[in-house]
Structure 1
Amino acid sequence: MDYFLRQLYQDRSSDEHTLGIISVERRSKVDTNTDYFDNVLLVIISDKKEANPWEIKHYAYNSYKVAMHLVRSSQIKDWLLNSSNRRIIDWLMNGKIVFDRNEYTANFRKTMLEFPLEERKVKIGVEFSKLIRRFKDGKALFHEKHYLDAYNQIVHALHHLARLSIIDHGFYPEVTVWQQVKKIEPEIYKLYSELVTGSEPIEKKLELLLLANEFELMSKTKLGSAHIIDLMKRKQDSWTIDELKQEVGMHEYSLDLSILLEYLVQKGYIDVVNVETKGKDIYHRYYVVNEALFRG
């Protein structure tokens, strides 16, 4: 089969825009990490090449199935930043490097292991904004007595809380996120376990978990808001929401930027500055960091 695989990626390795190729073998019959394909070839493409951000090709040789993922490096970085394709972590970290141009892939893997602080801070900000969105939506649905929908939102909120904690400890959240968090922050694992396995009525479970989740949210506020606060401190003037959206630049982050700002306003970390418009008694809403409180 090695000969078959080499035939597939040989042309790709001769392309000057190919930065690296990783081969991922299917581990067992029940392993979904490769979408039930016997092998995945991850071909990392330079952003200099005009190509789709992500292209997939399927191949067969007798009963052997292979999926080739041709992915631009910027797309991989986006997946890692937003935790939107957690299989990519396993592929990058545990796959076999079969081609590497100028040690690009080996260095990329090394950077992932080191997980630079600034990158961690951004990822924590993304997870924190998603955590607020899910928690607030779940809380609203609970008060409206839509318990099953509230349950769904709180499960997602706990997932974001778990990933945030894993990132804070210097690791990338993997597919088995609860296995990771059980070792790192067992109290968060206990919250999740009580939600999904507890014998109490769903209303009672949600009531208790909303209180616990509120506490966890409060305790993570400084950590979760550090990126957006540092960003806002870059200039003395106040910010409009659109300026912050453009500065953040990431779709996954900017989606929940408004609710993140409003939460930080409520907690006193950010102040609102009203700026007059041409309309009578109508103001633009600008934002500035309450530095004294944040330092406190």
Structure 2
Amino acid sequence: MEQVLRPIYQERASFPETLGVILVEKRCKGDPVTDTFDAILLIITADEEIPIFTKHYTDGHEKAAMHVISEKQLKKWLLLGSQRKVVDWLFYGRVYFDRNEFVENLRREMQEYPFYGRKMKMGLELSKLVRGYIEGKTFFEQGNYMDAYHHVVKSLHHLARLAVIETGLFPEVTVWSQVKKIDPSIYKLYEELITSEEPLEKRLELLFLASEFFIHHRTADGARHIMDVLATKELWTIQELHEHEEARMYSIDLEVYIEFLIDKGFIQVVQSESKNELIFHRDYRVE
């Protein structure tokens, strides 16, 4: 497949806007990292006109996918952690073209973490962790244990990613392999949830108690990013936060995250008069 793809990536490498060309080959049959394709051709471009452009190829026996990704889109994915397979492609793919060491510098930045906003990534993972915990506990208290289990597994995954980010590493596709080395206590918690022979209700009950501990000890560091945003001016409406370039990255988790931080004493609520004398506006600030 590499030989078949060579003319394609050679042509793309000749384009002045192409920053890097990476080839990723499957490591096993049906490899999910390559979306079950035999090869992935990742092309990073400075052209922002089309953020994502994809083509599929076959030589009659094997199949390949070409993804042309703008630098801006790629960095957004890396910041939000929304395309974990791309991290794997960048770290482990073979670099066939690297204009001005763009890919090499990107890999270094990913490892050292200054550019991709470690504080923001911690905040994003904490917000998702909090939502998963709250939703899971609500289902648990209603006696809907399978639904609670689903949300708890999701929240544990965000806890694992948060633990990896805390150490300055980048969460990979195999995040639990990372966590097993970085924080065995979180790995053990996950292992107990999915392998224990205790009744599901008992497993969930113990896990919620442990999750409270983990969340409590990570809130101050995880909340640092949103607190820095709030500190840039005296008072915020929720709409202003939704429109803020960085705060809006929290997306649907923003409001439940703000309420969680109010409950924990990190954010203050300020009431201001509205046109209706029976109701007040609810704004937010930090000291």
TM-score (norm 2): 0.95
The answer to whether structure 1 residue 206 and structure 2 residue 208 are counterparts is no
The corresponding residue for 2:168 is: 170
Q: CA deviation at 1:249?
A: 4.0
Change (3 A) 1:42 1:118: closer
| CA distance, structure 1, for counterparts of residue 248 and residue 119 of structure 2 | 17
- Aligned residue type for 2:193: L
The corresponding residue for 2:69 is: 71
The corresponding residue for 2:49 is: 50
The answer to whether structure 1 residue 255 and structure 2 residue 252 are counterparts is yes
Where structure 2 has 5 or more consecutive residues not aligned to the other structure, the ranges are none
Q: CA deviation at 1:32?
A: 2.4
Change (3 A) 1:241 1:288: same
Change (3 A) 1:156 1:49: closer
Whether the 8 Å CA contact 2:229–2:247 is kept in 1: the answer is no
Whether the 8 Å CA contact 2:128–2:253 is kept in 1: the answer is yes
- 1:67-216 paired onto structure 2 within 5 Å: 67-116=65-114, 119-216=117-214
Whether the 8 Å CA contact 1:139–1:210 is kept in 2: the answer is yes
* Residues 249-279 of structure 1: per-residue CA shift (max 9 Å, x gap): 4655121111111011111111100011111
The corresponding residue for 1:243 is: 240
The corresponding residue for 2:40 is: 40
| CA distance, structure 1, for counterparts of residue 187 and residue 34 of structure 2 | 27
* Residues 178-234 of structure 1: per-residue CA shift (max 9 Å, x gap): 111011011111111111011111111111111111111111110110100111112
Q: CA RMSD in A?
A: 1.6
Q: CA deviation at 1:100?
A: 1.6
Whether the 8 Å CA contact 2:226–2:247 is kept in 1: the answer is no
The corresponding residue for 2:266 is: 269
Whether the 8 Å CA contact 1:138–1:154 is kept in 2: the answer is yes
| CA distance, structure 1, for counterparts of residue 116 and residue 96 of structure 2 | 30
Q: Secondary structure at the match of 2:161?
A: helix
Matched positions, count: 287
* Residues 97-147 of structure 1: per-residue CA shift (max 9 Å, x gap): 111222212211111121117711110010000011110000111111111
Residue 278 of structure 2, aligned match among 274, 277, 281: 281
Whether the 8 Å CA contact 2:79–2:116 is kept in 1: the answer is no
The corresponding residue for 1:229 is: 227
Change (3 A) 1:204 1:248: farther
Whether the 8 Å CA contact 2:273–2:281 is kept in 1: the answer is yes
| CA distance, structure 2, for counterparts of residue 250 and residue 88 of structure 1 | 24
| CA distance, structure 1, for counterparts of residue 15 and residue 215 of structure 2 | 48
Q: Secondary structure at the match of 2:19?
A: strand
- Aligned residue type for 1:201: P
Whether the 8 Å CA contact 1:248–1:254 is kept in 2: the answer is no
The answer to whether structure 1 residue 26 and structure 2 residue 23 are counterparts is no
- Aligned residue type for 1:227: H
| CA distance, structure 2, for counterparts of residue 64 and residue 250 of structure 1 | 43
Change (3 A) 1:223 1:284: same
Change (3 A) 1:67 1:251: farther
Where structure 1 has 5 or more consecutive residues not aligned to the other structure, the ranges are 291-296
Change (3 A) 1:261 1:205: same
- Aligned residue type for 2:239: D
| CA distance, structure 1, for counterparts of residue 8 and residue 242 of structure 2 | 42
Whether the 8 Å CA contact 2:48–2:71 is kept in 1: the answer is no
* Residues 25-48 of structure 1: per-residue CA shift (max 9 Å, x gap): 2223253211222211001121x4
Runs of 4 or more, structure 1, over 6 Å off, are none
